[in-house]
Amino acid sequence: MQRFSAFHPISSFLYLISAVCITMFSRNIVIAAISIVAAFVFYLSLKATQSVWIYPLIFLLTAITNPIFSHNGVTVLFFLNGNPITLEAFVYGVYLGAVIIAVLLWFSCYNTVITSDKFLCLFGAVMPKAALTISMALRLVPQFISGGREMLEIQNSIIPIRCGIIKRVKKHIAIFSCLITRSLEGAVEQLSSMKARGYGLHKRVSYSRFRFTFADFLLLIYTITGFVYIVFFSGLLNYNYYPEMDKINFDVSYILCAVFLLMPTAINLWGEIKWKYSISKI
Amino acid sequence: MKKHLTFLVSLLCIALTFTSCSIQSVDDYYSSSGSSGNGSYATVSIDCKTILDNYDMLDESIKNEKYVPNDGVILEETKYPIDENDTAFSILQKATKDKRIHLEFQGAEQNALGSVYVKGINHIYEFSCGELSGWYYSVNGEFGNTSSANYKLSDGDVVRWQYTCNLGADLGAPNFSEN
Amino acid sequence: MEILNLENLSFKYSTGQDYAINNINLTVEEGEILLLCGSSGSGKTTLLKLIKKELSPVGELNGKITLFGNPRDNENSCDVGLVMQNPHNQIVTDKVWHELAFGLENLGIDKNTIRLRTGEMASFLGISSWFDKNTSELSGGQTQILNLASVMAMQPRLLLLDEPVSQLDPIAAREFLNAVTRLNRETGTTVIMTEHRLEDAFVLADRVAVMENGRIKYCDTPKSIAEQIIKDKASPLFNSLPASSRIYAMTNGDGECPIDVRQGRAYLRKAFEGKYIKQNIEKAKMNNRQRIIKLHNIHFRYQKNTPDVLRQLDLDVYKGESLCILGANGAGKSTLLRMLSGGIKPYIGKMKSDNKHRISMLPQRAELVFLKDNLLEDLTECCKEIGYSDKDGAEKIAQLSQVFNISNLFDRHPYDLSGGETQRAALTKLMLKNPDVLLLDEPTKGIDPNGKKELTGLIKAMCKQGVTVITVTHDIEFSAQTADRCALLFNGEIISCSAPQSFFCGNCFYTTDANRISRGIIDNAVTCEDVAKMWKASEE
């Protein structure tokens, strides 16, 4: 049960963007760690399908390369070609890697939660005409690609495209121009279908299937207060790595930040538990 | 097969990079002093007095006596033995090793031009105190216009490494690019 | 109440010489289904477009068009809905729900009403299960139903359908027409529909108007129209009539003309009173023929963890035969075709072919075969690529274009040809490389009955020259006339394969109309011609 995905796009979009912003604005390694954990459990709760195996690699790479290029810091571990390799630079690299991966994970979640429908709903509220154009493009592009594939297969079956790069390119260009002709012809018919359905007669409204409910309102308020508190009032975002790392003191704000970032997972889990419970009653 | 090949090649590259690096432990680094000299001496000093006038522009993270001493002097005038190969940079390296002062520079000795750029001393970096700040050196009161690693020292030379907050103008240096 | 009234309507395109619409008078009452038929170029589409204000073509218009009692130009545009021929080109947006809402968005209706109307329409037409899908994932039949639904969501009072099922296979076409009938019967929407495939549309129409050269020739109930067409021996519409009417005509029937299977049976029973005729089934004689492809125990799936598309499939193909493969949507017909053309390989089983033979395939959308702007140029280019010398190529083209009767089309753009013309031109191009096996994918889509008849002739001619023709189709009547053998593909398996006569006589539902009409009265008749032959024999 992915309850979080059921929220109104405005709420879920703002929440995800603010989570990304907090992760990016913060220079605090603890917040980066909280964010990476929160994003990862959220990612798991979404059962998203994007592969993430490359992420540890990115993390390792940044963690290792930073101390090689940055030599600031008071805690010298060893010297490399006469330049100090310091603990601070290493920790900073770890922090950078963590932020990059946390942001990537948040965006993976974003891709799963904010479907093209939701994106268009957001967009349509601001720019209805542009939203329609995007919607049409979203249909045309896959159509164009599959049309191209079909045509290539057919042409190939008539006369196999022989080796030779020039011949190949020539054939592909011919197919491409053919596709353009066809889609232009299709566009004429599409236009008459649009006109037949009253396009351009009245002021267009942008319909979306999502309803803004009280829960959406609550999430919105939660997002705004949480974001404002963490960014402007918690004082956790500033942190120095060079020349000496600031001490990390326990602060109740860390817990608040964790609560803020773990909210979507909690919502999904809550949905799951409720679902299990409602099933068990049957 | 192709996959294996790429893997092998990348492994080789990594190995090569490592062998070309020299890794020293902290104590090794500080105890390895340069040449013992040929009887000549030069003095070297490091200060950042200009920061004291622009203290509000300084990075928050190094607003600390540890990095910017109250009088702005990081290293008093100190005499070191030199030989004919020593330069304004090598004497700085010698001094910082001797006194265990932090130093970061770009362009090691292998550099084709033999030039070296000093980025930071005692955790005070270029741009740490405004956008026009960085490290300058002067020998006998004359600001060098070549890289410090190319300035050969002779007996009795006085080398001063000074921090500027205004491209050397506050040190009375002529206007040329740093180092 | 009068929904539409045309008074002395004439229309001439600004580019044309003759009147495309010539002095038409027509009245349509509320709740009626009017079928406009006529061969292509008779002005059906122009007439429909004139009724729809936004799409009315540029030209000289005389006469009066009155909609709902008011002149056309004063009418609210959303009161007239239009569904056109090509299903995919009418879709605007990427999601099914958005497509349904598109028209309502244009009218500036508030959200809750849009929600209600789209939901209502989706459940009425049974498309709720794919409400969330992308429009690009839908089949042609589904897309056309969606077009109907998104027009109907605007609640028009008059629905115009411009050859809505000509691009669909017969089963999807029947589904679409059923949806239209339901809409008409249950909501009272008035429908005007053009169509040249009359079998299915005839039964559901209240009135039929036959158009010829921009005039309405007759306008009456389907029965009397059928009688008129039969009387009018040379009418190009004869082959479009339902099977029962054609049997009626071929047996020189008298009395009322039957237009559906039930009436046809009643008629035939009366005509053959007291006689029971059985035709002997001819066995398909394949033993003496050379087997060129043998599929044995074929299994195929597209992905590791998806179910098999083809399973335990056995099929033999003989040289010079016409083999029709029938089956419902999703039975694996296209997959089988791709396997025969060598595009995919089975993961279990083997496809054996005697020698390396050349295979050509005619795709569903035949126009995709062409790349150039000019038909002759395209054919010449193809000859060059095959490796003919200029002289040989020209000879080959000349010879084939005579067979396929396309010599008069050489200067045209391939996309401007009609369905049947495109197909013949595409076949010409495919035959240039002298294939041994010709695969046809749904060749009757978008072809009128006369075109079908022509195609049957062409296929038979090609078979005589030793070309093996394998056709994948939904069209039962067509396969009954064309095939030497028919195979039924069900769930990835060939469950029956024999000569059309024994094939269709063994089936109860999956069979031709003529067989259904004559079952129990004349046994083992499959086509209308069979029935006529039996009738003649019994007369003598």
Q: Determine the 3-state secondary structure of C306 from DSSP.
A: coil
A140, closest residue in chain C (CA to CA): C94
Residue ranges covered by each domain of chain C: 2-241, 319-344+353-520
Residue A41 has pLDDT above 50, yes or no: yes
Residue C134 DSSP code? B
The two structure tokens encoding residue C505: 């006589």
Which residues of C are less than 8 Å from A159 in CB distance?
A: 382, 385-386, 433
Mean model confidence pLDDT for chain C: 85
Domain C319-344+353-520 superfamily per CATH: P-loop containing nucleotide triphosphate hydrolases (3.40.50.300)
Name residues whose C-beta falls within 8 Å of residue B139's C-beta, 6 or more positions apart in sequence: B88, B151, B153, B157, B158, B159, B160
| Cα distance between residue C458 and residue C496, in whole Å | 26
* 8 Å CB contact between C16 and C65: no
* 8 Å CB contact between B25 and B142: no
C359 CB burial (10 A radius; 0-12, 13-18, 19+): buried
Tell me the residue type at A177. S
Chain C contact partners (≥3 CB pairs within 8 A): A
For the segment C229-249, the average pLDDT, to the nearest whole number, is 82
pLDDT grade for B156, boundaries at 50, 70 and 90: confident
**Which site among B32, B102, B109 would you substitute to test the A interface, given the most A Cβ atoms closer than 10 Å to its Cβ?**
B102
Mean model confidence pLDDT for chain A: 87
Enter the CATH code of domain C2-241.
3.40.50.300
**Which site among C136, C360, C361, C470 would you substitute to test the A interface, given the most A Cβ atoms closer than 10 Å to its Cβ?**
C136
| Cα distance between residue B120 and residue B141, in whole Å | 21
Which residues of A are less than 8 Å from B23 in CB distance?
A: 78-80
**C54, A196: Cβ pair inside 8 Å?**
yes
Least CB–CB distance from C151: residue in A135, A197, A202: A197
Q: For C126-184, what is each residue's pLDDT tens digit?
A: 898 988 888 888 888 899 999 999 999 999 989 999 989 888 877 888 889 999 999 99
The two structure tokens encoding residue C219: 């306008």
| Chains B and A physically touch (3 or more Cβ atom pairs below 8 Å) | yes
B93 found inside a domain: yes
Tell me which H or E stretch contains B103: strand B103-106
* 8 Å CB contact between B33 and B86: no
* DSSP conformation letters of B20-84: HS-EEEHHHHHH------SSEEEEEEEE-HHHHHTGGGB-GGG-STTTS-TTSEEEEEEEEEE-T
| Cα distance between residue C222 and residue C207, in whole Å | 6
B49 found inside a domain: yes
| Cα distance between residue A257 and residue A253, in whole Å | 6
The two structure tokens encoding residue C466: 């030793």
Looking at per-residue confidence, does B114 or B50 come out higher?
A: B50
A-contacting residues of B 53-92, CB under 8 Å? 60-62, 67
| Cα distance between residue C195 and residue C240, in whole Å | 10
Q: For A99-123, what is each residue's pLDDT tens digit?
A: 999 999 999 999 889 988 888 888 8
Which residues of B are less than 8 Å from A77 in CB distance?
A: 26
For the segment C99-106, the average pLDDT, to the nearest whole number, is 90
Q: For B86-144, what is each residue's pLDDT tens digit?
A: 888 888 888 888 888 888 888 755 555 667 888 888 888 888 888 888 898 888 888 87
Which pLDDT does position A38 carry in this prediction? 94
| Cα distance between residue C244 and residue C262, in whole Å | 9
Which pLDDT does position B112 carry in this prediction? 58
Name residues whose C-beta falls within 8 Å of residue C509's C-beta, 6 or more positions apart in sequence: none
The two structure tokens encoding residue C317: 């193909």
**A83, B61: Cβ pair inside 8 Å?**
no
Look-up of token digits 């404002």: A228
**B105, A76: Cβ pair inside 8 Å?**
no
Range with the poorest average pLDDT among C91-100, C142-151, C341-350, C479-488: C341-350
* DSSP conformation letters of C321-358: -EEEEE--TTSSHHHHHHHHTTSS--SEEEEEESS---
pLDDT grade for B3, boundaries at 50, 70 and 90: low
A-contacting residues of C 284-343, CB under 8 Å? 341, 343
**Which site among A167, A193, A194, A213 would you substitute to test the C interface, given the most C Cβ atoms closer than 10 Å to its Cβ?**
A193
| Cα distance between residue C491 and residue C504, in whole Å | 19
**A82, B93: Cβ pair inside 8 Å?**
yes
Looking at per-residue confidence, does B157 or B17 come out higher?
A: B157
Residues B104-139: b if buried by 16+ CB within 10 A, e if exposed = bbebeeeeeeeebbbbbbbbbbbebbbebbbbbbbb
Which pLDDT does position A100 carry in this prediction? 93
Which pLDDT does position A151 carry in this prediction? 87
Least CB–CB distance from A159: residue in C82, C111, C382: C382
* 8 Å CB contact between C309 and C337: no
For the segment C308-334, the average pLDDT, to the nearest whole number, is 85
**A185, C150: Cβ pair inside 8 Å?**
no
Whether the CB of C415 is below 8 Å from some CB of chain A: the reply is yes
Tell me which H or E stretch contains C70: strand C70-71
Residue C18 DSSP code? S
Whether the CB of B101 is below 8 Å from some CB of chain A: the reply is no
Least CB–CB distance from A72: residue in B28, B108, B123: B123
Whether the CB of C359 is below 8 Å from some CB of chain A: the reply is yes
Residue C267 DSSP code? H
Alpha-carbon dihedral sign for residues C253, C259, C260, C263: negative
Phi, psi of C205 (to 5 degrees): -80, 145
Among C293, C336, C332, C326, smallest CA distance to C468 is for C293
Total domain count for chain B?
1
- Calculate the alpha carbon distances from A205 to A126, A201, C101, C154, C326 in Å: 11, 12, 10, 15, 46
Q: Are strands C2-13 and C21-29 parallel, antiparallel or unpaired?
A: antiparallel
| Cα distance between residue C488 and residue C494, in whole Å | 6
Which pLDDT does position A18 carry in this prediction? 95
Give residue B100's domain range: 39-171
pLDDT grade for C190, boundaries at 50, 70 and 90: very high
A83, closest residue in chain B (CA to CA): B104
Which residues of A are less than 8 Å from C98 in CB distance?
A: 117, 120, 135, 207
Give the residues across from A79 on adjacent strands: A84, B24
Which residues of A are less than 8 Å from B21 in CB distance?
A: 80-81
Which residues of A are less than 8 Å from C429 in CB distance?
A: 158
Q: For C373-427, what is each residue's pLDDT tens digit?
A: 888 888 888 888 887 888 888 888 888 888 888 888 888 888 888 778 888 888 8
**Which site among A66, A71, A75, A247 would you substitute to test the B interface, given the most B Cβ atoms closer than 10 Å to its Cβ?**
A71
Q: Are strands B158-164 and B134-139 parallel, antiparallel or unpaired?
A: antiparallel
| Cα distance between residue C14 and residue C445, in whole Å | 32
Q: For C53-74, what is each residue's pLDDT tens digit?
A: 888 888 888 888 888 888 887 7
The two structure tokens encoding residue A243: 């020349």
Predicted TM-score of the model (pTM): 0.79
- Calculate the alpha carbon distances from C531 to A167, C271, C525 in Å: 55, 12, 6
pLDDT grade for A224, boundaries at 50, 70 and 90: very high
CA distance C422 to chain A (A): 15
Whether the CB of C133 is below 8 Å from some CB of chain A: the reply is no
Distance, C-alpha A159 to centroid of its chain: 44
Q: What is the CA angle C116-C81-C47, rounded to 5? A: 175
The two structure tokens encoding residue C192: 């005007």
* 8 Å CB contact between B154 and B40: yes
Q: What is the CA angle C508-C509-C512, rounded to 5? A: 95
* DSSP conformation letters of A180-228: HHHHHHHHHHHHHHHHHTTTTTS------S----HHHHHHHHHHHHHHH
- Calculate the alpha carbon distances from C261 to C248, C265, C503, C518, C534 in Å: 12, 6, 20, 9, 18
C439, closest residue in chain A (CA to CA): A157
Least CB–CB distance from C98: residue in A135, A146, A204: A135
Q: Cis ω on the peptide bond leading into residue A264 (within 30° of 0)?
A: no
Least CB–CB distance from A78: residue in B26, B93, B109: B26
B12 found inside a domain: no
For the segment C281-292, the average pLDDT, to the nearest whole number, is 69
Whether the CB of B117 is below 8 Å from some CB of chain A: the reply is no
| Cα distance between residue C339 and residue B105, in whole Å | 67
Which residues of A are less than 8 Å from C379 in CB distance?
A: none
* 8 Å CB contact between C194 and C162: yes
Domain containing residue B49: CATH number: 2.170.130.30
Tell me which H or E stretch contains B120: strand B117-121
CA distance B42 to chain A (A): 22
